[in-house]
Amino acid sequence: MRFLKKFNISLPLRKLRSVFNKWTNALLATITVLFLAVSTILFTAAFQSEKGPPPIAAHFATTTSSTPTTVQSSTTSTLPQPKYLARSIPLFIDIPSINLSANLTQLGLNPDGTVQVPSSWNIPGWYRFGATPGQQGSAVILGHVDSVEGPAVFYSISKLSLGDIVSVGLSDGIVTHFSVTNVEMFQKSNFPDNSVYGNNGSSDLNLVTCGGAFDYQSHHYLSNVVVYTTYIGSSIGK
């Protein structure tokens, strides 16, 4: 008993605790460094792989701006067009990407000089005082976007993407093919008549419908959606 009283057993325990604490702190520090390093690597990899959603291409937002709203725009250079065709009345239009297939009627001018609109919600009309599809110049086809009963024939043309194909059958049996190059929306008070109806030195087909904000007092849309397409070739028959 006297031996035990003389021997101080608390000293080695304090040393052991000190050594243990040093090793524990070192281990925790190492783990912390490794965790931070791995977290940094994973975050960097995730950031580099996340490129974000593609830009909205086909849909248009409601706007009352007097400047055109570009829904889509082609940035690639245009290829030389095929040989222009002789004048021939268009009979039907096909746009496979939006499941549109419809016969065409003909449109002229109203007494006030404005272009007529189709009398049917589901039959678009070709402006007969302009070029026919495949001729040099701008052929223009107009159609309604909707009615009180729901979507009309051109309801989905604003969803067209760059490069989508629009085909128009002619009375001589030739089917003309066009590629979408641009989709824009303009206020009706700022409609670009020259670019839509004019001869721009190439063979183009422009599709026109209503869009933008709806005026509940006049019961009309305040803007027009224009789909610009360029002639890329023709085939025989449908």
Q: Is residue 54 part of a domain?
A: no
Q: 9-28 burial by CB neighbour count: b if 16+ within 10 A, else e? A: eeeeeeeeeeeeeeeeeeee
Task: Return the pLDDT at 226.
Answer: 98
Residue 134 near residue 82 (C-beta atoms within 8 A) = no
Quote the mean pLDDT of the chain: 78
Q: What is the pLDDT of residues 127-163, one digit of tens each?
A: 999 999 999 999 999 999 999 999 999 999 999 999 9
Q: State how many domains the chain has.
A: 2
Global pTM reads 0.68
In degrees to the nearest 10, what's the CA dihedral of 63, 68, 69, 72?
160
Q: Is residue 93 part of a domain?
A: yes
Q: Looking at the structure, tell me whether residues 29 and 97 fall in a common domain.
A: no
| pLDDT exceeds cutoff 80 at 28 | no
Count CB neighbours of 196 within 10 A: 22
Q: Is residue 39 part of a domain?
A: yes
Q: Looking at the structure, tell me whether residues 15 and 96 fall in a common domain.
A: no
CATH number for the domain spanning 123: value is 2.40.260.10
Q: What range defines the domain where residue 30 resides? A: 2-49
Q: What is the pLDDT of residues 7-24, one digit of tens each?
A: 344 445 455 455 455 555
Q: Looking at the structure, tell me whether residues 103 and 160 fall in a common domain.
A: yes
